[in-house]
Amino acid sequence: MSSAIPLSSACGVVSPRAPVKVVLSREQGEGRGARVRRSIGNAAFPNFDPFLMLDEFKVAVPAGFPDHPHRGQSTVTYVLPESDGAMEHEDSMGNHGLLAAGDLQFMKAARGILHAEVPENERVCHGLQLWVNLPAKHKMDEPEYQELRAEELKRASKDGVEAIIIAGEAFGVSSQIRTRETPVHYVHFKMSPSSELRQPIPPGWAAFCYTLKGSANFGSGELVEAHHTVALSNGEGEDGIVVRAGPENAEFVMIAGTPCNEPIVQHGPFVMNTREEIMKAFSDFQGGKNGFESVRGWRSEIQYRTR
């Protein structure tokens, strides 16, 4: 099931949140030869509890993200609908698949997994990857996958605004994706010129937007261009956002979630609550134990495309 946290009544945004920080995401290297724009997880936003990282990636063979482990978080990979290319994935648990334009994958890494994410071919795969922290009581759960094809994602539209609902709810329509451990709302909005969006956000949730195309006013009176992170206020009584598109089509994702309110100790792909737990994660991975049994002797086949 999707998050059970109720939203305000439709269009019932009475006290909008406001931008408190707007930062341009610049390109940087990642993986093997890949280039990404990092939104969350950079110097401006080391993390945004419960979110650890958001990357906008554009990648084609021979670049990619060869075999690498995870523990303590979930990853959400969304290939944008206009992407030319696709992303193939393979992991030590025996899962293997392809994410094409508009497809979605939630991977709960939890206690441990080793996987690779590599473009299918020389066509550029354009998408977003979000890392969501898991509360301490769920960090050692069993790994879990949820995948939806583009045609399975819920959609809704109103007053010149289209919503692709990755998780949570928009315009009264809810995603079927389960976000039980860390409830999340994640919506891709496409706005026609000068249109207005009124989107409720549950009280107390951390929320931000990442802009993809065009420009929009998130409440400050200023138009925010593409590739910016807009961190939103979280004051008492603030119940959503009001966004007005600029003079051209605008696109952005709105991401909100309930904070874990726990210490975050991160070293690369391992995210735990203490330094001792991080050291144990490395030991477990290297020894293939305590959740990493599946990595013993495993190497993906797809990683060799990046060489």
Is position 227 annotated in a ligand binding site?
A: no
Question: What ranges in the chain are assigned the alpha helix state H?
Answer: 275-287
For residues 161 and 195, is the Cβ–Cβ distance under 8 A?
Answer: yes
What is d(CA 203, CA 86) in angstroms, rounded to the nearest whole number? Answer: 36
Q: Which one, of 45, 67, 54, 56, lies nearest residue 118 by Cα?
A: 67
Query: In this structure, is the dihedral angle defined by the CA atoms of residues 128, 129, 133 and 134, taken in order, positive or negative?
Result: positive
Cα-Cα end-to-end distance for the chain: 40
Q: Which one, of 209, 207, 214, 212, lies nearest residue 37 by Cα?
A: 212
Output helix, strand, coil percentages for the chain, rounded to the nearest 5.
Answer: 10, 45, 45
Is position 188 annotated in a ligand binding site?
A: no
What is d(CA 257, CA 34) in angstroms, rounded to the nearest whole number? Answer: 28
Is position 185 annotated in a ligand binding site?
A: no
Is position 117 annotated in a ligand binding site?
A: yes
Annotated binding site for Fe cation: 68, 70, 115, 117
- List the binding residues: 68, 70, 115, 117
